[in-house]
Amino acid sequence: MRATGRKEVLTTGEVARICRVAPRTVSKWVDTGKLRGYRIPGSRDRRIPMPQLIAFMRAHDIPLDGLDQGVCRIILLSTDTPGELAGQVNSAGRYDLRVVHNEFEAGMMAQQFRPHVVVVDLPDDRQEAQAVCRMIKNADGLEAAKVLAVTGTGAGRHGISPRACDGFLTRPISAGSLLAAVEEATNFMT
């Protein structure tokens, strides 16, 4: 069974592996206030909340690829996705695709699943799709997630600002086109 979430608080050793430094370096970052964390009372152990680590890594140009290794988690928000798409993507072994059909389901799934990528395919309302993309990019806990928007065949990117998302796909979506867009957005290579 795959994990459905990422750890919220990390040890100095875990942060050291992610950032590819020595644990003592992480301790110094915490002690000097460069990396926000806390010391466990009565102990020398330190803990670093995940949002603080992500902010630190971004501020110091440390690649975020070490945060989650192995399976790339994807949420697809779509009102008309073919049922076999999830099976095809998940059969690749390195991806875990969850399909949701409305914004509420997407929000609930995002909180539990902690996706690397959220794909927004709302064909009826481009303004709604743009608003959903922006909401995801600004949501707590989704700082590292990439947002991809799906646009109609030949319609280009009309109505969706490039600032609202990290990339685009063109309808109809296939497993191949979805994975290519995910790999391009995340640098997640199979």
How high is the pLDDT of residue 50? Answer: 86
Among 38-42, 55-59, 64-68, 77-81, the range scoring the smallest mean pLDDT is 64-68
State the Rg of the chain over Cα. Answer: 18
How high is the pLDDT of residue 33? Answer: 94
Domain locations along the chain: 9-66, 72-186
Match domain 72-186 to its CATH number in 3.10.290.20, 3.40.50.2300, 3.30.1330.60, 2.40.50.140: 3.40.50.2300
How high is the pLDDT of residue 26? Answer: 92
The per-residue pLDDT for range 25-43, each reduced to its tens digit, is: 999 999 999 999 998 888 8
The per-residue pLDDT for range 82-95, each reduced to its tens digit, is: 667 888 887 766 78
Q: Does domain 9-66 have CATH number 1.10.1740?
A: no
**DSSP state at residue 42:** T
The per-residue pLDDT for range 97-156, each reduced to its tens digit, is: 888 988 888 888 887 877 888 998 876 666 777 777 778 877 777 777 888 888 775 544
How high is the pLDDT of residue 165? Answer: 80
Distance CA 78, CA 148 (A): 12
Question: Which position has the higher pLDDT, 178 or 6?
Answer: 178
Percent of the residues in the chain that have a pLDDT greater than 70, as a whole number = 79
How high is the pLDDT of residue 123? Answer: 67
How high is the pLDDT of residue 156? Answer: 47
29-45 burial code (b ≥16 CB/10 A, e <16): bbeeeebebeeeeeeee
Among 9-18, 154-163, 168-177, 181-190, the range scoring the smallest mean pLDDT is 154-163
Distance CA 79, CA 61 (A): 37
Whether 73 shows a pLDDT value over 70: the answer reads: yes
